[in-house]
């Protein structure tokens, strides 16, 4: 069990409802996307040795946990989220010895490591799937196989078992000539869904998880884990299949219906997660598990993360990161502070008595928040808006997650051509929406990719101002797998590391607050104003200690909402200001004048 470099919260302070308090109650997690973090051998792809070489940087930031995106053996169809061998490291990233070294070196620094776990689906190159292609094998029903519709030629349009479409474009069914049947895939056609209805599948997954835990990792982040349970009728048929007792929803403008309502937070998800906890985690100490939770709302989050129910420690919910999208992911609506507040309020209130929240705006699937909701048009606005959204995330109740480069205020890629993208989802979406279904113009789709595309978060980490941003050597024989953002010359770790006004320095203060302020880590959360168009304000209270957060999430000056003005009364002294996205003197003057400047956020001790 790794020894943390900080004190834990006393049990007299309530966190998620467990006793004793879990070690992660005042922890901060840092996500690493390995292929974009640090390349140690000049092949243009980040690797495990590169991560190990940067551990001192992560330790200096002060975080407690690294969440490592997949490094397992994979054909890399979806950048490692298509796993062909769970118990091998992909040569792109190094060797198992490199993985063991990373674990040992992280643990020396008091940093835990949790690995991404992708068990809703595997790669179609996984041995389990290859064996499953034989209908007479022991693994014949380890995946969702179905025959073609009666009277239809297998492999032709309309012969699919139902009308479901993949989230990555095209049909969610792929015909396999060897087996003579279709297999179901919610994501890429190279990512067939495992059939969790089969207990042998679950046993194999738990055995693999235990193998990793025994090796010394500290837990898992579980990819789309709430999609492992599917809705089926009394005969095991999926909605919309011939003879199914359950009707499918109508097809949309792209020609497909969606499996999402029937494959997200399904009927057996609680049973499966409870079984996983018994079989893998129950007798272990010092671990953490978090689930990516498509289809789960705030109320269900409370149930799943309530320690009494013995499922998961926390979940990633997505209601708040969909507020600027309408219908399709690729249809933009304006960012609205009120909409964001409403979603985060629901998440916070749901876990006010039991359970826990994951706090984030960025990850490998979400674009950079400073470009998406902030303002990267000038250096001043970029830095202030990066700090404002950092403050928003880290001052709520729950466990904050920092995505690599977020602590620097890294921006979106600002790509303008389709051939600059590498992400399967983005490329397929363009082809389906623009070229095939013709439901979106080329110009509109390129604008959407520039704002929402996942590659915006996947450009190489910006370490310095050299040719390849220090991600790989300037004279490396191979260019990075995806273009380095040109603004790395100005925005990089080397430029910020010793700058007390930098975004990096601000994030260090946020992490320090989480570690050393029980009010911030576990105090009760209470919204102060529920309708202001610019300023998001809330309090955190623990015993007789009370802290007010007021954050202007726009680039314009905003008058303090009356409930905020009432709380601060005759004014705020400089020594009451714990943290400001500007500085204490600036915020003292702003509050005295009854307003906050654009992107000004302030934490006040009441």
Among 267, 233, 260, which Cα is nearest to 247's? 233
How far apart CA 567 and CA 531 sit, in angstroms, is 17
pLDDT of 3 reads: 65
How far apart CA 398 and CA 437 sit, in angstroms, is 42
User: Can you read off the two tokens belonging to residue 351?
Assistant: 């876990």
* 595 within domain boundaries: yes
Identify the domain boundary among 217, 245, 264: 264
How far apart CA 22 and CA 10 sit, in angstroms, is 10
327 and 408 belong to one structural domain: yes
Among 231, 225, 230, which Cα is nearest to 277's? 225
How far apart CA 487 and CA 442 sit, in angstroms, is 26
65 and 170 belong to one structural domain: no
User: Can you read off the two tokens belonging to residue 480?
Assistant: 């990075």
* 297 within domain boundaries: yes
Q: How far is CA 391 from CA 253, 378, 486, 529, in A?
A: 40, 20, 27, 17
pLDDT of 1 reads: 52
* 504 within domain boundaries: no
* 510 within domain boundaries: no
358 and 332 belong to one structural domain: yes
109 and 162 belong to one structural domain: no
320 and 334 belong to one structural domain: yes
Q: DSSP string spanning 276-336? A: HIIIIITT--S-EEEEE-TT--HHHHHHHH-GGG-S-SEEE--GGGGTTEESEEEEE----
**Mean predicted lDDT score pLDDT of the chain:** 96
Q: Determine if residue 170 is left, alpha or beta; phi over 0 gives left, psi from -120 to 50 gives alpha, anything else beta.
A: left
Q: How many independent structural domains does the chain possess?
A: 4
Q: How far is CA 462 from CA 30, 459, 487, in A?
A: 16, 9, 9
Residue 202's Cβ-side half-sphere holds a number of Cα atoms within 13 Å equal to 19
How far apart CA 227 and CA 480 sit, in angstroms, is 33
pLDDT of 475 reads: 94
87 and 204 belong to one structural domain: yes
CATH of the domain at 575: 2.60.40.1180
* 155 within domain boundaries: yes
pLDDT of 251 reads: 94
* 581 within domain boundaries: yes
CATH of the domain at 370: 3.20.20.80
How far apart CA 56 and CA 34 sit, in angstroms, is 16
Average pLDDT over residues 319-327: 92
Q: How far is C-alpha 342 from the chain's CA centre? A: 20
112 and 239 belong to one structural domain: no
Three-state SS for 97?
Answer: helix
User: Can you read off the two tokens belonging to residue 546?
Assistant: 């009370």
Q: DSSP string spanning 194-257? A: B-TTSHHHHHHHHHHHHHHHHHT--EEEETTGGGSS----TTSPPTTSTT-SSPPPPP-TTS-B
Any idea what the Cα angle at residue 589 is, between residues 584 and 592, rounded to 5°?
A: 120
Among 35, 79, 75, 32, which Cα is nearest to 480's? 35
Identify the domain boundary among 467, 497, 527: 497
Tell me the pLDDT tens digit for each residue of 285-306. 999 999 999 999 999 999 999 9
pLDDT category, 45, cuts 50, 70, 90? very high
pLDDT of 10 reads: 87
* 507 within domain boundaries: no
User: Can you read off the two tokens belonging to residue 461?
Assistant: 């980490």
136 vs 327 pLDDT, higher one = 136
DSSP state of 457: G
CATH of the domain at 153: 3.90.400.10
Q: Is the pLDDT of residue 570 over 90?
A: no
* Helix, strand counts (H, E) of the chain: 18, 22
* 93 within domain boundaries: yes
Average pLDDT over residues 486-505: 97
> Active-site residues: which are they?
223, 292
pLDDT category, 535, cuts 50, 70, 90? very high
pLDDT of 2 reads: 63
pTM (predicted TM-score): 0.96
286 and 378 belong to one structural domain: yes
User: Can you read off the two tokens belonging to residue 228?
Assistant: 């492992």
462 and 587 belong to one structural domain: no
Element (H, E) at 448: helix 442-452
Tell me the pLDDT tens digit for each residue of 147-175. 999 999 999 999 999 999 999 989 999 99
Q: What is the 3-state secondary structure (H, E, C) of 460-500?
A: CCCCCCCCCCCCCCCCCCCCCCCCCCHHHHCCCHHHHCCCC
Strand order, beta sheet including 577-580: 524-527, 535-542, 545-552, 601-605, 577-580
211 and 358 belong to one structural domain: yes
DSSP state of 192: P
Instruction: Tell me which residue range forms the domain holding 55.
Output: 31-120+199-232+267-417+457-497
354 and 474 belong to one structural domain: yes
pLDDT category, 97, cuts 50, 70, 90? very high
216 and 360 belong to one structural domain: yes
DSSP state of 143: B
Any idea how long the chain is? 606
pLDDT of 327 reads: 79
Q: Is the pLDDT of residue 324 over 60?
A: yes
């Amino acid at each position: 069990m790794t020894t943390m470099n900080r004190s834990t919260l006393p049990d007299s302070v309530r966190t998620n409802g467990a006793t004793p308090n879990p070690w992660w109650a005042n922890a901060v997690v840092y996500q690493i996307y390995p292929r974009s973090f640090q390349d140690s051998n000049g092949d243009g792809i980040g690797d495990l040795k590169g991560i190990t070489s940067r551990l001192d940087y992560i330790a200096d930031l002060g975080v407690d946990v690294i969440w490592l995106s997949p490094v397992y053996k994979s054909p890399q169809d979806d950048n490692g989220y298509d796993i062909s061998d769970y118990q091998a490291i992909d040569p792109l990233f190094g060797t198992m010895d490199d993985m063991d070294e990373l674990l040992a070196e992280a643990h020396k620094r008091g940093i835990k490591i949790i690995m991404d776990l992708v068990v809703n689906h595997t790669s179609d190159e996984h041995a389990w799937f290859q064996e499953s292609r034989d209908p007479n094998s022991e693994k014949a029903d380890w995946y969702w196989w179905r025959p073609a519709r009666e009277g239809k030629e297998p492999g032709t349009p309309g012969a699919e078992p139902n009308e479901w479409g993949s989230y990555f474009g095209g049909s969610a069914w792929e015909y396999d000539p060897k087996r003579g049947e279709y297999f179901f895939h919610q994501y890429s056609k190279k990512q067939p869904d495992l059939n969790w209805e089969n207990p042998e599948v679950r046993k194999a997954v738990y055995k693999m998880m235990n193998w990793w835990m025994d090796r010394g990792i500290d837990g898992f982040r579980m990819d789309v884990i709430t999609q492992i349970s599917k809705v089926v009728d009394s005969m095991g048929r999926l909605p919309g299949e011939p003879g199914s007792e359950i009707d499918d929803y109508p097809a949309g403008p792209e020609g497909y219906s969606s499996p999402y309502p029937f494959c997200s937070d399904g009927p057996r998800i609680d049973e499966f997660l409870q079984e996983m906890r018994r079989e893998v985690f129950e007798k272990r100490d010092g671990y953490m598990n978090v689930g990516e939770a498509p289809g789960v709302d705030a109320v269900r989050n409370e149930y799943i993360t309530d320690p009494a129910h013995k499922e998961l420690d926390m979940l990633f919910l997505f209601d708040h990161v969909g507020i600027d999208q309408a219908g399709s992911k690729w249809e933009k609506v304006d960012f609205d502070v009120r909409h964001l507040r409403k979603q985060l309020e629901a998440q916070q209130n749901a876990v006010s008595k039991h359970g826990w929240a994951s706090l984030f705006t960025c990850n490998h699937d979400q674009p950079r928040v400073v470009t998406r909701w902030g303002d990267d048009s000038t250096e001043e606005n970029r830095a202030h808006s990066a700090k404002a959204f950092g403050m928003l995330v880290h001052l709520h109740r729950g466990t904050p997650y920092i995505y690599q480069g977020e602590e620097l205020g890294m921006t979106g890629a600002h790509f303008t051509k389709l051939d600059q993208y590498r992400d399967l989802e983005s490329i397929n979406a363009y082809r389906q929406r623009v070229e095939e279904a013709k439901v979106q113009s080329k110009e509109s789709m390129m604008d959407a990719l520039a704002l929402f595309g996942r590659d915006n978060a996947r450009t190489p980490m910006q370490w310095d101002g050299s040719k390849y941003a220090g991600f790989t050597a300037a004279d490396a024989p191979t260019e990075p797998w995806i273009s380095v953002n040109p603004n790395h010359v100005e925005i990089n770790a080397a430029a910020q590391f010793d700058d007390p006004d930098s975004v990096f320095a601000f994030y260090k203060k946020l992490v320090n607050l989480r570690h050393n302020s029980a009010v911030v880590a576990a105090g009760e959360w209470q919204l102060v104003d529920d309708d202001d168009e610019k300023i998001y304000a809330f309090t955190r209270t623990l015993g007789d200690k009370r802290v007010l957060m007021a954050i202007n999430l726009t680039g314009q000056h905003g008058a303090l909402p009356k409930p905020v003005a009432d709380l601060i009364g005759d004014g705020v002294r400089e020594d009451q200001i714990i943290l400001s996205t500007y500085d204490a003197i600036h915020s003292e003057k702003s509050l005295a004048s009854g307003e906050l400047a654009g992107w000004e956020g302030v934490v006040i001790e009441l």
